[in-house]
């Protein structure tokens, strides 16, 4: 008898899907995924194939929103016919550049860290899925280690929001904006969860203003309640792309000029999303409070040249940290 699908959180299903797609270079078909990957196969008895396929399409969109590339390999004779298409995560996207080399000491540290992980870090469901993929004639190129489907999301609101998106149900939650003393109850139709600047956001229709809004999950300060009010599933189509596009537009108009100490953690993390400038680097950001939190965490490794509002926010956080540690 299949396991109860309600016991498999959406985030675990996503990790199981990553495990399957990264395991083979030749790719696997949608039918194989739906019948072999934990999180889909348990629902095959209760859900229609059409519902499972839509879930898979939403999961692909979620992974791509996280920056995980998914290749679709179709029939070379009929490239528009995707009925027998195969899907994969290309391993080349995760290979280290040839110019990167490690010292013996660095290799020892990496081996020590890697020793924490082993194939036992995969859940039994994930290992079972890989065995089924092999049994169907799909070559698994290498052992998949280091993926733990039993992950917990940093933001407790994530599972309920993901469930509400899948069920097309409106939600309510308390949301505390910076500067407010009390949280405000928000009502929305959640359409997509997107990761942006290493933080999770929920995008959807704010029912109080009847307009698209994006909320930061870390500012949800209580339970997300899933209501009985449903909405049209068509609203979810392309929602992830719209959310990311909107965040990109906000970041394009908010840029910080920073001086960063080379070779530091700040330099490593900020360089991934920066452009060089004469005095340092320019980094776009969405939320001044969130970005100030990040910059303050680097301590003396980074200095804000401009804008002044961001510099003041970072200084305020550093002063508060000093007071908490008894330094006047």
Residues present in the chain in total: 328
Are residues 34 and 190 in contact, defined by beta-carbon separation less than 8 angstroms? no
Q: What is the rounded (10 degree) CA torsion for 235, 241, 246, 249?
A: -160
Alpha-carbon distance of 24 to 98, in angstroms, equals 22
Alpha-carbon distance of 8 to 38, in angstroms, equals 8
Alpha-carbon distance of 322 to 139, in angstroms, equals 56
Place of tokens 């110019």: 99
**Shortest CA distance to 196 belongs to which of 220, 171, 169, 215?**
215
- Where are the extended beta strands (E) located within 3-105? 28-29, 71-73, 86-88
What 8-state DSSP symbol labels residue 90? Answer: -
What 8-state DSSP symbol labels residue 50? Answer: H
- Judged by DSSP in three states, 280 sits in coil
Extents of the domains making up the chain? 5-135, 158-236, 254-324
Are residues 162 and 240 in contact, defined by beta-carbon separation less than 8 angstroms? no
What 8-state DSSP symbol labels residue 153? Answer: -
Residue 232: per-residue pLDDT: 94
> How many helices (DSSP H) and strands (DSSP E) are in the chain?
10, 12
pLDDT digits (tens, 9 = 90+) for 50-106: 888 888 888 888 887 777 888 888 755 555 556 678 888 886 665 656 666 666 555
Q: Which fold does the domain 158-236 belong to in CATH?
A: SH3 type barrels. (2.30.30)
**Shortest CA distance to 155 belongs to which of 137, 173, 167, 141?**
173
pLDDT digits (tens, 9 = 90+) for 216-253: 998 999 999 999 999 999 999 889 889 989 998 999 89
Alpha-carbon distance of 256 to 284, in angstroms, equals 6
More confident residue, 115 or 321: 321
Residue 147: per-residue pLDDT: 36
- Is the pLDDT at 193 greater than 60? The verdict is yes
Q: Please report, for residues 13, 169, 203, the alpha-carbon distance to residue 67 in angstroms, rounded to integers and kept in the order given.
A: 17, 27, 17
- Is the pLDDT at 281 greater than 90? The verdict is yes
pLDDT digits (tens, 9 = 90+) for 21-35: 876 677 888 888 888
| Lowest mean pLDDT across 118-122, 243-247, 287-291 | 118-122
What 8-state DSSP symbol labels residue 121? Answer: G
Residue 153: per-residue pLDDT: 45
**Shortest CA distance to 86 belongs to which of 99, 75, 102?**
75
- Quickly count: other Cβ atoms within 10 Å of residue 129's Cβ: 27
| Lowest mean pLDDT across 107-111, 178-182, 252-256 | 107-111
Residue 263: per-residue pLDDT: 80
The dihedral of CA 131, 145, 268, 302: what is its sign? Answer: positive
Best-predicted range by mean pLDDT among 8-22, 44-58, 273-287?
273-287
Omega before 307 within 30 of 0, i.e. cis? yes
Residue 141: per-residue pLDDT: 46
Kindly indicate the confidence band of residue 117, based on its pLDDT and cuts at 50, 70 and 90. very low
Residue 150: per-residue pLDDT: 34
Are residues 126 and 19 in contact, defined by beta-carbon separation less than 8 angstroms? yes
Kindly indicate the confidence band of residue 168, based on its pLDDT and cuts at 50, 70 and 90. very high
**Shortest CA distance to 30 belongs to which of 12, 13, 50?**
50
* Structure tokens belonging to residue 8: 């498999």
Kindly indicate the confidence band of residue 174, based on its pLDDT and cuts at 50, 70 and 90. very high
% of the chain exceeding 70 in pLDDT: 72
- Judged by DSSP in three states, 29 sits in strand
What 8-state DSSP symbol labels residue 177? Answer: -
Residue 302: per-residue pLDDT: 94
């Amino acid at each position: 008898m299949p396991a109860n699908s309600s016991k498999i959180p959406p985030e675990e299903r996503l990790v199981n899907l990553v495990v399957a797609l990264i395991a083979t270079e030749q790719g696997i078909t949608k039918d194989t995924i739906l019948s072999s990957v934990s999180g889909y196969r348990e629902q095959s008895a209760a859900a229609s194939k059409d519902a499972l396929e839509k879930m898979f399409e939403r999961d692909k969109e979620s992974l791509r929103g996280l920056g995980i590339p998914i290749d679709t390999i179709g029939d070379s004779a009929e490239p528009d016919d995707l009925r027998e298409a195969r899907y994969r995560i290309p391993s080349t996207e995760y290979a280290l550049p040839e110019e990167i080399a490690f010292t013996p000491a660095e290799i020892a540290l990496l081996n020590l860290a890697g020793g924490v992980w082993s194939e036992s870090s995969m859940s039994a469901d994930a290992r079972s899925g890989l065995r089924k993929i092999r049994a169907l004639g799909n070559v698994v190129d290498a052992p998949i280690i280091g993926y733990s489907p039993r992950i917990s999301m940093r933001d407790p609101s994530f599972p309920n929001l993901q469930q509400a998106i899948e069920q097309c149900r409106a939600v309510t939650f308390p949301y505390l904006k910076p500067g407010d003393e009390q949280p405000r109850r928000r009502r929305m139709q959640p359409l997509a969860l997107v990761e942006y600047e290493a933080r999770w956001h929920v995008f959807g229709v704010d029912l109080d203003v009847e307009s698209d809004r994006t909320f930061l999950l870390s500012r949800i300060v209580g339970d997300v309640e899933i209501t009985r009010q449903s909405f049209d599933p068509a609203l979810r189509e392309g929602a992830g792309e719209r959310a990311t596009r909107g965040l990109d537009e906000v970041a394009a108009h908010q840029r910080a000029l920073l001086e960063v100490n080379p070779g530091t953690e700040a330099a490593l993390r900020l360089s991934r999303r920066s452009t060089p400038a004469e005095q340092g680097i320019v980094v776009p950001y969405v939320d001044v409070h969130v970005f100030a939190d990040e910059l303050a965490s680097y301590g003396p490794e980074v200095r804000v040249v401009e804008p002044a509002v961001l510099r003041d926010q970072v200084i305020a956080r550093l002063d508060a940290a000093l007071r908490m540690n008894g330094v006047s």
